[in-house]
Amino acid sequence: MLFKKLPETIFVPFSGQNKHIYEAVLLDLADQFFDEDLVDPFVPKDLIRSCIEDTVVRLGVRRWEPEEGESEADRQELPRSAAEYTSRIYRRLVETGWLEEEQRIYRTFVLLSPAISYLLRTLVGINELEKRSYGGAVLNVLSSLESAVNDPAGRGITLQEAAQTAADFSAHLTDMMLGLRELKNSLAATSNPQEIVRSFFDRFVAHILVSDYKTLKTKNNPFRFRRQILTMLRDLQFDPLKVDKLSKHYQEQFELSFADAEAMVH
């Protein structure tokens, strides 16, 4: 199922000796494609090549290993300059499906397909392992739930947003627990107190823990909304009129039968 949406060669660049180069290049390219000010998803080819060359120079690339699927000519003639490295990397990313080209009169533009864009965003997220705000997640759930309850016929879809936010943050908490397990195993392997403290803050607090962990012990901690959220959900569960309106709204939004829409609401 995965490769019905992604090219079969998509992970080839990460399977060879040059994978760290491709990783750095794609992370830098993500800044080009996911720029908040970017209006047109079609980026000029020369800008993409320039970005790749900047990465090559920054990394100080001086060595290139032959790769699977390369032509015999490419295997025998390895790149010798930043420009040649850039050409080799760019061509490889196009061949393996990471980048697509589109010709517009006299200029060539580069774009990402929707599946590749989603994949790259996911890889960037894994690389950054951004901390999550517990208070932000709880307030998003509360706000979305209030919208759905107060206007089920017009804004009922926000009930699903509340459920998705809760599910996403629940998954983050699971990741956090697994991160603790890995950290415990690594700390058990060292007897250096300084290394233990450094690892805890660098690997756990800085990268895994929720960003607003200090507020969890204050009177403003997000747990204070827990009772309010549960009360609203319980009242909604036993309010057939609102459940009926929500179900009809879901039926319209998702083009479902009423029975399926009602099951989705519940």
For residue 234, the model assigns a pLDDT of: 94
The whole-chain average pLDDT of the chain stands at 83
pLDDT band (50, 70, 90) for residue 203: low
Lowest-pLDDT range, 26-35, 70-79, 108-117, 137-146? 70-79
235-245 mean pLDDT: 93
1-5, 222-226, 234-238: range with highest mean pLDDT: 234-238
Q: Is the pLDDT of residue 172 over 90?
A: no
- Alpha-helical (H) ranges within 34-157 are 45-59, 72-76, 82-95, 114-128, 134-150, 152-155
Pick from 160, 8, 41, 14: which is nearest to 109 by CA?
41
Helix (H) or strand (E) holding 22: helix 19-33
Buried b (16+ CB within 10 A) or exposed e, 57-76: eeeebeebeebeeeeeebee
At 111-167, the pLDDT tens digits run: 888 889 888 888 888 777 666 667 778 888 999 999 999 999 999 999 999 999 888
**212 has pLDDT over 60:** no
Residues in the chain: 266
The pLDDT-based confidence of 168 (bands split at 50, 70, 90) is confident
Domain 2-126 has CATH 3.40.1280.10: no
Every domain of the chain and the residues it spans? 2-126, 130-265
Non-local CB neighbours of 236 within 8 Å, separated by 6+ positions: 149, 242, 243
Answer with the residue of higher pLDDT: 161 or 67: 161
Dihedral of the CA atoms 70, 84, 11, 39 (nearest 10)?
-140
Q: Can you tell me the mean pLDDT for 175-192?
A: 74
Percent of the chain residues past pLDDT 90, beyond the cut: 31
Q: E strands within the chain?
A: 43-44, 100-104, 107-111
Q: What is the mean pLDDT of residues 16-32?
A: 90
How much is the pLDDT for 94? 92
Q: Which two tokens stand for residue 104?
A: 């517009």
- For the CA atoms of 81, 87, 90, 93, what is the dihedral angle to 10 degrees? -100
pLDDT beyond 60 at 241: yes
Is the pLDDT score of 12 beyond 80?
A: yes
97 φψ region: left (φ > 0), alpha (ψ -120 to 50), beta (else):
left
Assign 209 a pLDDT band (cuts: 50, 70, 90): low
Q: What is the pLDDT of residue 160?
A: 92
Other CB atoms closer than 10 Å to residue 114's CB: what's the count? 9
Answering whether pTM is above 0.85, one says no
Assess whether pLDDT exceeds 60 at residue 211: no
Query: Tell me, what's the pLDDT at 149?
Result: 92
43-44, strands of its sheet edge to edge: 43-44, 107-111, 100-104
Using DSSP's 3-state secondary structure scheme, residue 104 falls into strand
